């Protein structure tokens, strides 16, 4: 049997595919449009693996997706494909509506058409797992309880609104058509292969290049941080044992302010790659104009995942951050390759 992973050359998608091959004997079809954040190099260790098939394509291309589902007799779809960067959604929301909403809709329709024609056993075993975000729950006050799966959606950015819309579509395809779906709402991921527009890799690279470490506003905004490997393990578990139609939050119980995160990575860099002038990288921290509509705090309650599926994150924030910094230090070639002219253009425009 085979699973279809969409957005497979992106950050979380590629970590998932690599992790899958280290844990499972099942084949994988990787689908990715290879837009700016997708990088085939992430999957290069699978180049000669006969169990892996890479296809460049769009989740919105129904004909292609249906053909892949039939050709490879896919028994599950894991949908990572998305436009994921909040700041980009503020500058240009169009791609977020197209990929995250219309793309998910088309993918659901391809899945439904394929699933509908399967024999009974295969129909029962089929799964459509949709990967989403804790941002759909909106911003929390300091005294609010961490968001749980029953909380209402209150998305604030074009990005989170598009993910919330996609989650609603997935739910509706279950309620209306009984398509066997699962939804995962995850906290901020970090780890290897993350595109350097996101806070952690951006600050690692800026630190090494003697550039400012830009902190939006006062840096007291809070995010919950989850090592990407723990997210991948949770998805595997949910795919096997999750209850159809259910939503599972995945997080690290690990709330940190942005300033705490950047200071922690500066002190790891101070130790692993001390500056020649013996100063700390934290001197490069620079407070910049805040993100419009910047959510103050995200925190998610993962008791359902822990209680039902006995699934807990293994990585502590300190050790995960250290692994991440080491990965970037050892993979500066990868960084050079992803830092394309499009990336340089984005950095110049956004931080101008």
Summarize as ranges the residues that interact with ligand DAU (CB under 6 A). Answer: 84-86, 133-135, 187-188, 198-199, 202, 214-216, 221, 223, 258, 291, 298
Specify whether the CB–CB gap between 212 and 205 falls below 8 A.
Answer: no
3-state secondary structure (DSSP) of residue 44: helix
Q: How far apart are CA 177 and CA 112, in angstroms?
A: 8
Nearer to ligand DAU, 198 or 304 (CB): 198
Q: How far apart are CA 296 and CA 115, in angstroms?
A: 41
Q: How far apart are CA 219 and CA 215, in angstroms?
A: 6
The active-site residue, picked from 109, 134, 224, 301, is: 134
Specify whether the CB–CB gap between 102 and 60 falls below 8 A.
Answer: yes
Nearer to ligand DAU, 138 or 214 (CB): 214
Please report how close the Cβ of residue 78 comes to ligand DAU at its closest, in angstroms. 16
Nearer to ligand DAU, 275 or 294 (CB): 294
Nearest to 224 by CA among 115, 146, 320, 144: 146
Residue 227 a catalytic site member: no
The active-site residue, picked from 135, 197, 230, 315, is: 135
Nearest to 134 by CA among 248, 6, 265, 274: 248
Nearer to ligand DAU, 110 or 188 (CB): 188
Residue 290 a catalytic site member: no
Please report how close the Cβ of residue 294 comes to ligand DAU at its closest, in angstroms. 6
Cα Dmax for the chain: 68
Residue 36 a catalytic site member: no
The active-site residue, picked from 105, 137, 159, 328, is: 159
Q: How far apart are CA 9 and CA 44, in angstroms?
A: 10
Residue spans of alpha helices (H) in 126-215: 158-177, 199-208
3-state secondary structure (DSSP) of residue 214: strand
Please report how close the Cβ of residue 51 comes to ligand DAU at its closest, in angstroms. 29
Please report how close the Cβ of residue 222 comes to ligand DAU at its closest, in angstroms. 8
Nearer to ligand DAU, 74 or 187 (CB): 187
Please report how close the Cβ of residue 334 comes to ligand DAU at its closest, in angstroms. 18
Active site residues: 134-135, 159
């Amino acid at each position: 049997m085979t699973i279809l992973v969409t957005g497979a050359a992106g950050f979380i998608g590629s970590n998932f595919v690599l992790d899958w091959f280290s844990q499972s004997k099942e084949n994988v079809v990787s689908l990715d449009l290879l837009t700016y954040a997708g990088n085939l190099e992430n999957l290069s260790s699978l180049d000669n693996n006969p169990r892996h098939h890479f296809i460049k394509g769009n989740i919105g291309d129904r004909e292609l997706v249906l053909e892949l589902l039939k050709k490879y007799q896919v028994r599950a779809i894991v949908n990572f494909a998305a436009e994921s960067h909040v700041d980009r959604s503020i500058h240009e929301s169009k791609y977020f509506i197209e990929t995250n909403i219309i793309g998910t809709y088309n993918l659901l329709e391809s899945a439904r058409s394929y699933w509908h024609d399967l024999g009974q056993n295969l129909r029962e075993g089929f799964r459509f797992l949709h990967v989403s975000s804790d941002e759909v729950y909106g911003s929390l006050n300091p005294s609010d309880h961490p968001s749980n799966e029953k909380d209402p959606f209150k998305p604030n950015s074009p990005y989170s609104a598009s993910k919330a819309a996609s989650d609603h579509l997935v739910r509706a395809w279950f309620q209306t058509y009984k398509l066997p779906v699962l939804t995962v709402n995850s906290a901020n991921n970090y780890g290897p292969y993350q595109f350097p527009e996101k806070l952690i890799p951006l600050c690692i690279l800026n630190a090494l290049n003697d550039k400012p470490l830009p902190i939006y506003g006062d840096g007291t905004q809070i995010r919950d941080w989850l090592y990407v490997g723990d997210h991948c393990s949770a998805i595997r578990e949910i795919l096997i044992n999750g209850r159809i139609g259910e939503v599972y939050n995945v997080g690290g119980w690990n709330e940190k302010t942005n300033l705490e995160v950047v200071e922690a990575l500066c002190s790891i860099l101070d130790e692993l790659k001390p500056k020649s002038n013996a100063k700390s990288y934290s001197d490069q921290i620079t407070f910049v104009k805040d993100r419009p509509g910047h959510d103050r705090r995200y925190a998610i309650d993962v008791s359902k995942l822990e209680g039902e599926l006995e699934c807990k994150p293994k990585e502590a924030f300190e050790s995960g951050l250290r692994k991440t910094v080491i990965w970037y230090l050892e993979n500066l070639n990868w960084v050079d390759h992803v830092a394309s002219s499009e990336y340089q253009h984005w950095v110049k425009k956004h931080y101008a």
